[in-house]
């Protein structure tokens, strides 16, 4: 048998194994047992544009000034970077928006950031993992102990569950881009405070500007609020399409919540199927 066919069969077998494990988690309740064929996108990805976003509290978060990348020779004469203006609808006016710093530059800035109190207990910052050209971005709330030790988001039990979700959608673990609202671990893994989320917002905004995904999945209320996709007092937030700077956002439960309340896994799978439909992938 040709090696190319062998590799393809092994990939399909790995995907089926992941789906069957997820089906076991759901007690076999109506979950698909075959890996759906991937659909090739017919059109090239749109050019990446800078994304400016109104913070969760109605103001542009600017706690951490992120300088745009410029050639060294021109740096001294260039005008200082300014936040991109917003249209009345909250969409970015990209015509005058500066080019965001690259992901490596943002990661280096996050590693030395002192804009909020989380930096005082930081062992290392946790920036992102996965494919920076992915059509889908998962946004969580913040790193835990295992994530801080590894320097990558979602590597503990919640991360293993998230990986099962990703495989169930027909992606490989590293085919998608995954990041958090805050890049430093909050004490005792608590939910980030509003001021901590605001301090890290420029990093998240820069990540989304660089990746320029087709869909964002907000994992939990913290991520949903940080993306400006939930109003105060709103009771229903999960499973309802929202928008961040023109990008569709699907808010759903955080994998850590599912570990405590596995009966809600079916709800999350329903949400992820809506994401698959938005991306034109078979469900």
What is the pLDDT, as a whole number, of residue 130? 97
Of 274, 220, 228, nearest in space to 53 by CA: 228
Q: 81 in a domain, yes or no?
A: no
Instruction: Judge whether 9 lies within some domain.
Output: no
CATH classification of the domain holding 154: 3.40.470.10
- Average the pLDDT over 61-89 and give the result: 36
Q: What is the pLDDT of residue 236?
A: 83
pLDDT (tens digit, 9 = 90+) per residue, 157-207? 999 999 999 999 999 999 999 999 999 999 999 999 999 999 999 999 999
Using the predicted structure, report yes or no on whether residue 34 has a pLDDT greater than 50: no
Place of tokens 């909250």: 90
Instruction: Please name the helix (run of DSSP H) or strand (run of DSSP E) that holds residue 6, with its range, or none.
Output: helix 3-25
| CA distance linking residue 227 with residue 205, whole number of Å | 9
Q: 70 in a domain, yes or no?
A: no
Instruction: Write the CA distances from 228 to 21, 222, 237, 254, integer angstroms.
Output: 34, 10, 12, 17
Question: Does residue 254 sit within a domain?
Answer: yes
Residue 61 lies inside a defined structural domain of this protein: no
Whole-model pTM: value is 0.68
Is 23 part of any domain?
no
Q: Check if the beta carbon of residue 281 is closer than 8 Å to that of residue 38.
A: yes
211 or 12: which carries more pLDDT confidence? 211
Query: Tens of pLDDT along 76-126?
Result: 333 333 333 333 334 443 445 678 899 999 999 999 999 999 999 999 999
Max Cα distance, the chain (Å): 63
Structural domain includes residue 229 = yes
**Boundaries of domain holding 219:** 121-283
Q: Is the dihedral of CA 165, 169, 175, 177 positive or negative?
A: negative
**Domain total for the chain?**
1
Choose the weakest-confidence range: 6-10, 97-101, 154-158, 263-267. 6-10
- Higher pLDDT: 265 or 25? It is 265
Residue 143 domain-assigned (yes or no): yes
92: which strand partners? 86
pLDDT at 40 over 60: no
The crossing angle, in degrees rounded to 10, of helices 157-168 and 3-25 is 120
Q: Is the pLDDT of residue 24 over 60?
A: no
Q: What is the mean pLDDT of the chain?
A: 77
């Amino acid at each position: 048998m040709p090696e190319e066919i062998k590799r393809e069969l092994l990939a399909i077998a790995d995907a089926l194994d992941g789906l069957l494990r997820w089906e076991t988690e759901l007690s076999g309740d109506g979950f698909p047992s075959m890996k759906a064929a991937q659909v090739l996108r017919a059109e090239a990805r749109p050019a990446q544009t800078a994304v400016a976003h109104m913070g969760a509290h109605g103001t542009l978060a600017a706690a951490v000034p992120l300088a745009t990348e410029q050639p060294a020779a021109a740096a001294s004469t260039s005008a200082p970077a300014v936040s991109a203006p917003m249209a009345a609808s909250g969409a970015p006016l990209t015509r005058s928006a500066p080019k965001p710093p690259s992901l490596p530059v943002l990661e280096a800035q996050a590693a030395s950031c002192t804009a909020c109190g989380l930096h005082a207990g930081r062992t290392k910052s946790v920036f992102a993992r996965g494919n920076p050209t992915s059509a889908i971005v998962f946004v969580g709330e913040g790193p835990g102990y295992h994530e801080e030790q590894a320097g990558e988001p979602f590597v503990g039990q919640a991360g293993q569950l998230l990986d099962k979700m990703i495989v169930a959608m027909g992606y490989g673990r590293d085919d998608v881009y995954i990041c958090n609202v805050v890049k430093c671990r909050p004490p005792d893994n608590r939910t980030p405070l509003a001021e901590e989320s605001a301090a890290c917002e420029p990093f998240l905004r820069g990540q989304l500007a660089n990746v320029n995904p087709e869909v964002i999945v907000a994992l939990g209320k913290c991520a949903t609020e940080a993306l400006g996709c939930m109003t105060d007092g709103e009771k229903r937030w999960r499973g309802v399409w929202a928008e961040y700077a023109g990008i569709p956002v699907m808010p759903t439960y955080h994998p850590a919540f599912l570990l405590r309340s596995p009966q809600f896994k079916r709800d999350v799978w329903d949400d992820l199927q809506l994401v698959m439909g938005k991306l034109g992938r078979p469900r």
